[in-house]
Amino acid sequence: MEFVSLETKKKMQFNFEKLIVWQKSMELVDLVYDQVKRLPRSEDHILIPQLLRAANSVPCNIAEGSYRQGKKEFIQFLFL
- Cα angle: 62, vertex 58, 2; to 5 degrees: 25
- What's the pTM? 0.70
Which pLDDT belongs to residue 1? 46
**Residue 62 class from Cβ within 10 Å (0-12 exposed, 13-18 middle, 19+ buried)?**
buried
Q: Which H or E run includes 7? A: helix 6-12
Domain ranges of the chain: 6-78
* CA-wise closest residue to 27 among 58, 53, 51: 58
Q: What is the pLDDT of residues 19-75, one digit of tens each?
A: 899 999 999 999 999 999 888 888 677 888 999 999 999 999 888 888 777 777 777
